[in-house]
Each structure stands twice: as structure tokens, then as C-alpha cells.
Copies of this chain bind each other. A is one copy, B any other.
Amino acid sequence: MSNRAVGGSHRAAPVHTDPGEVSLLTALSAVADPVRIQLIRDLAGSADWTRSCSNFDVPIGKAALSHHFSVLRGAGLVEQRDEGPRRVNRLRREEFEARFPGLLDLLLHADTE
């Protein structure tokens, strides 16, 4: 199978981890970060596959953002796919909730301060 994304992009397709295979520690480490909490909240407020990676209001550069998304994929929190030049996102709400009941609700509703 080719690692090239379809649709004109030459980036490697994003690698995902199934939430069922994510350890508690990996999940907690992934969400114990203010930027990633913000990304998760933004995604929760958007319809699946509508939000592209360049369209988040976080005060960090492209490389750092790419790293954060990699961590979120590795924790089973986010699914990504390439649509032409855009990499669009989906929060894996149901699957992550099944693996770590209540954690996503906490992230979305608890005061961060």
C-alpha cells in the first residue's frame, strides 16, 4: 500500500491508533496539555471532517501543531484524512468514550483554570 495520500498531496497519510489499544497513561499524557485541550474543544464544537489543521485558533507554529495532532492521533482522540491540500479532522468521540468513560466529558466541561 502506498504511503502517499490521494488527492494531490505528497505527505504521508496520517498514522492512527485505535482507542481500544491506547493505555490510560498515553491518554492522560495526551490530554494534560493546554493546547491539546483547546484543539479537542474546538473539534468538539465542529461537525466531523469540517475542520482543517490550518483552521485552529492556537498560538503555535505549524511544526508544533503537527506534533500535537500526532499525539492526539496516538491517543485515539482524533482521526485525520487528507482532502486535496487540506487535512481534515474528526474527534473520535464514541470510540474514546467507550475506552475511557467520562474523560472526554471532563475535558469538554471542566474549567481549565
Interface residues of A (CB under 8 A from B): 23-25, 28-29, 31-34, 37, 100-103, 105-107, 110-113
A28 to B112, CA, bound (A): 10
**Given A31-B28, A32-B25: A100 and B105 interface contact (C-beta under 8 Å):** no
A11 to B58, CA, bound (A): 44
CB distance from A17 to the nearest CB of B (A): 14
A44 to B91, CA, bound (A): 32
A23 and B111 form a contact (CB under 8 A)? yes
Find chain B residues with CB under 8 A from A106 CB. Answer: 24, 100-103
Chain B residue nearest to A23 (CB atoms) is B113
A101 and B102 form a contact (CB under 8 A)? yes
